[in-house]
Amino acid sequence: MSSLSGKQGPRYRHTADSTDPYETIGVEKLTPIIGAEIFGVDIAKLIDDEARSNRQMDEIHRALAENLVIFFRDQHITPQQHLAFGRKFGELHVHPAAPNEGDPALMKIYADKDSPRANGEGWHTDVSCDLEPPMGSILYIKQCPPRGGDTLFANMYAAYEALSDRMKAYLDGLTALHDGEQTYRGLYSNYGVADKREYPRAEHPVVRTHPVTGKKALYVNRGFTRFIIGVPRDESDAMLAYLYQHAENPLFQCRFRWTENAIAFWDNRCAQHRAMWDYWPHTRSGTRVTVKGERPV
């Protein structure tokens, strides 16, 4: 029996999103919990056509809020259109360590047979070590392997809601240190990127409230969270180990199978993700644009 279930059924039950129909886009959910493919949107035309843009953009915002990660297939956009699409959601974030593709806000994503690693192999939320971590990330994959290379996404609203009331009470008000040092130092040396003198670190609440939906989400991850502040280190280690395992439960997940020229747009404030590097010796490449966020509360 799942650790999330008992005689009364699962502790987390999905609450239905708005039943109002979409008018300008098609939305097909991957699972009831997280993820949706979006149809009827040509992002290149969306960038260039303001009349078309406003209504569709409103519905894309809504689809992201309701599904946490949304996917667009068969998109053909230039680097400048990629950047412009990101700017429709806010000011752009510059990664503190990664190489870029000619613009500081256009992050390079690349792995091939000679790579020592691939981007995002472990569960994380992007750059949570920043004082104001990114709101969202928009990944455009132009070349993908014939098999493998999927990305997994997990719903942190669901992870929080499935916790017992006693655990929620324990976590209420706790903060944790998120530190980029051990993650980023030396990480991009194969691209010839020199290490910086220091990398971001910040203290964030273990449970954050989403500024748009008002819902609570678990906000710790293996990639950047180092310890919970104000409790003994062995207690912190044990608690974080439990929370990581809990957050990564397949019941909270969807899995996206990439095709060339597809885009994934996820909300870092309420979702974690993990990229599978199971396609060696094939190549996977693209670019990522990230939108600035706010300090978690």
User: Do residues 131 and 203 lie in contact, with contact meaning Cβ atoms separated by under 8 Å?
Assistant: no
Which one of 82, 93, 124, 178 is the catalytic residue?
124
DSSP-derived secondary structure for the chain: --TT--TT--S--PPP---PPPSSSEEEESSSSS-EEEES--HHHHHH-HHHHHHHHHHHHHHHHHHSEEEE-S----HHHHHHHHHTTSSEE--SS--BSSSTTEEEEEE-TT-S--TT-SSB-TTTTSSS--SEEEEEEEE--SS---EEEEEHHHHHHTS-HHHHHHHTT-EEEEE-HHHHTTTTGGGTPPPPS---EEEEESEEE-TTT--EEE---TTTEEEETTS-HHHHHHHHHHHHHHHT-GGGEEEE---TTEEEEEETTTEEEEE----TTS-EEEEEEEE------
For 239, phi then psi, to 5°, come to -65, -45
Catalytic annotation present for 288: yes
Nearest alpha-carbon partner for 255 in 181, 166, 153: 153
Catalytic annotation present for 273: yes
Which one of 95, 210, 269, 288 is the catalytic residue?
288
Which one of 82, 93, 95, 126 is the catalytic residue?
126
Which one of 210, 273, 274, 284 is the catalytic residue?
273
Distance of CA 190 to the CA centre of its chain: 24
Catalytic annotation present for 124: yes
Mark 257-268 as b/e (b = at least 16 C-beta within 10 Å).
ebeebbbbbbbb
Catalytic residue numbers, as ranges = 124, 126, 273, 288
